[in-house]
């Protein structure tokens, strides 16, 4: 079990390092290649585009070809995408590389989730999954800290750091291959737990979802449409150009978001198990997001640390509560459809938000010479954050109404 855990965690760590490798080189791409923020936003937006569909069929692929085979194949696909991205100084080439990476990355996540269920259902499944998320966050943290521990590569320009990301892709393949070998051996011995049904879409379930589910979807779409485009695409460039931070200082500051999530997400998951207050916890977590952008919009450099702390706390609490909450409001036969649809809509939101944020930066002339040009992006993310908070309040109110209705029926 230990070998399987470390093998899949290594595969996922490399996956997320590659995803977050664009943020630290964003300013270099702008300065050295003359790219617009719309182009930079497209590099991460294009990742989400195929996953609007791939998350719907990922479970089917795992069922047909096994979790270990899909994990290994998609890790190779991610590595090829990272290599193509590092090779191309032309925008279409890099976009093709990120598209190729995106085709493999989210399907790998589906495969590894199924793999953990196969190995750990009835064997500390929730704990092991939470620890795997910690490994994922560590990959993102390393990507943000790379300008510090790989400063010589960044001194050479935008391309060398992307080759470092490709090297992490090699580690991902090594982890996936080790998992393939271990899993093949243990499956032959019959020691694995029974795999759960894959996340297939049953469109007839759409008419039977409760109001609470759709409010959770609203939180998911608006929350992640802020977190990923800002933190993984534009935040480091924004810290450099709007606040005069060096690349090392900006990336270190940005890494604190995932550093907090690495340790706090399992803690908040345990808290949820204890108190069972999904609506209240989501409301508290979602509130941190608009407040953090309000602090950023005040343009005070002294507010950067406070804003980053709030982002980290919010990103630790909301995901820890959001995904388990779906199971509370959907029946067992609806879960595959519920999770698949919510993830597809999440990816669509991230895709659109990346493009819009880059466009408003370009329209406002955001740059080191015009820091005020970033204000429109901050307000865009702030309003999306506020929408997530409103959805959380509505969910809490809906829960109270449902509980009151149940009590009234019980009294009658």
| In a shared domain, residues 180 and 206 | no
| In a shared domain, residues 82 and 205 | no
**pLDDT for residue 24:** 92
What is the full per-residue pLDDT of the chain (412 aa) written as tens digits? 778 889 999 999 999 999 999 989 999 999 999 999 999 999 888 988 888 877 777 666 776 777 888 899 999 999 999 999 999 888 999 999 999 999 888 888 878 877 776 777 666 665 677 677 788 889 989 999 999 999 999 999 999 999 999 999 999 999 999 999 988 887 666 555 544 444 555 556 666 788 888 999 999 999 999 998 998 889 999 999 998 999 999 998 888 887 877 777 677 666 666 666 777 888 888 998 999 999 888 866 677 888 888 888 888 788 878 877 777 787 756 666 677 788 889 989 999 999 999 999 999 999 999 999 999 999 999 999 999 999 999 998 887 776 555 534 434 4
| In a shared domain, residues 49 and 71 | yes
Q: Residue 8's closest CA among 100, 167, 131?
A: 131
- pTM score, two decimals? 0.80
**pLDDT for residue 282:** 85
- 167, 200, 233 — which closes off a domain? 200
| In a shared domain, residues 263 and 397 | yes
Cα separation, 13 vs 78, in Å, equals: 12
**pLDDT for residue 88:** 81
- 164, 180, 200 — which closes off a domain? 200
- 173, 200, 227 — which closes off a domain? 200
**pLDDT for residue 412:** 40
Work out the number of other CB atoms within 10 angstroms of the CB of residue 40: 27
**pLDDT for residue 272:** 64
Cα separation, 364 vs 277, in Å, equals: 42
List the CATH number of the domain containing 147: 1.20.1250.20
DSSP 208: G
| In a shared domain, residues 121 and 14 | yes
pLDDT, tens digit, for every residue of 396-409? 888 777 655 553 44
The structural domain count of the chain equals 2
| In a shared domain, residues 121 and 217 | no
> What are the phi and psi torsion angles at 370 (to 5°)?
-140, 70
| In a shared domain, residues 160 and 220 | no
| In a shared domain, residues 274 and 366 | yes
> What are the phi and psi torsion angles at 245 (to 5°)?
-75, 150
Q: Residue 177's closest CA among 69, 337, 329, 323?
A: 69
**In 150-231, which ranges are continuous DSSP H helix?**
151-155, 159-189, 211-229
**pLDDT for residue 123:** 61
| In a shared domain, residues 27 and 45 | yes
Which range marks the domain in which residue 314 is found?
Answer: 201-412
**pLDDT for residue 185:** 80
| In a shared domain, residues 220 and 298 | yes
Residue found by looking up tokens 């595959």 in the block = 336
Work out the number of other CB atoms within 10 angstroms of the CB of residue 43: 26
Cα separation, 250 vs 202, in Å, equals: 44
What is the separation of C-alpha 195 from the centre of its chain, rounded to a whole number of angstroms?
A: 25
**pLDDT for residue 333:** 62
| In a shared domain, residues 119 and 219 | no
Query: Distance between terminal CA atoms of the chain?
Result: 52
| In a shared domain, residues 268 and 387 | yes
Indicate the SS3 state at residue 393: helix
């Amino acid at each position: 079990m230990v070998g399987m855990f470390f093998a899949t965690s290594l595969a996922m760590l490399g996956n997320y390092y590659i995803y977050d490798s664009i943020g630290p080189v964003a300013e270099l791409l702008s300065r050295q290649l003359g790219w617009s923020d719309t182009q930079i936003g497209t590099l991460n937006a294009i990742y989400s585009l195929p996953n609007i569909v791939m998350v719907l069929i990922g479970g089917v692929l795992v069922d047909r070809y096994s979790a270990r085979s899909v994990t290994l194949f998609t890790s190779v696909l991610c590595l090829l995408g990272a290599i193509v991205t590092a090779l191309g100084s032309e925008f279409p080439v890099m976009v093709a590389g990120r598209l190729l990476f995106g085709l493999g990355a989210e399907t790998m996540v589906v495969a590894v989730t199924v793999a953990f269920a196969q190995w750990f259902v009835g064997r500390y499944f929730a704990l092991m999954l939470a620890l795997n998320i910690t490994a994922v966050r560590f990959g993102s943290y390393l990507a943000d800290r790379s300008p510090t521990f790989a400063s010589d590569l960044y001194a050479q320009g935008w391309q060398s750091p992307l080759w470092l990301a490709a090297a992490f892709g090699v580690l991902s393949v090594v982890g996936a291959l080790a998992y393939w070998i271990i899993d093949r051996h243990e499956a032959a011995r019959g020691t694995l737990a029974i795999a759960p049904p894959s996340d297939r879409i049953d469109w007839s379930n759409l008419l039977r979802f409760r109001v609470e589910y759709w409010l959770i979807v609203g939180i998911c779409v608006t929350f992640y449409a802020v977190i990923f485009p800002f933190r993984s695409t534009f935040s480091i460039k924004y810290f450099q150009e709007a606040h005069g931070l060096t690349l090392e200082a900006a990336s270190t500051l940005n890494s604190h978001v995932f550093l907090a999530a690495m340790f706090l997400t399992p803690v908040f998951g345990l808290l949820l198990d204890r108190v069972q207050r999904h609506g209240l916890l989501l409301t508290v977590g979602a509130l941190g997001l608009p407040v953090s952008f309000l602090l950023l919009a005040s343009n005070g450099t002294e507010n950067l640390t406070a804003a980053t702390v709030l982002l980290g706390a919010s990103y630790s609490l909301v995901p820890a509560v959001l995904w388990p909450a779906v199971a509370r409001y959907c029946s067992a036969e609806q879960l595959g459809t519920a999770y698949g649809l919510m993830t597809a809509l999440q990816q669509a939101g991230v895709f659109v938000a990346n493009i819009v944020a880059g466009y408003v930066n370009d329209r406002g002339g955001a740059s080191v010479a015009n820091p005020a040009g970033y204000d429109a992006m901050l307000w865009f993310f702030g309003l999306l954050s506020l929408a997530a908070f409103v959805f959380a309040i509505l969910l809490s109110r809906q829960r109270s109404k449902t509980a009151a209705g149940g009590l009234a029926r019980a009294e009658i």
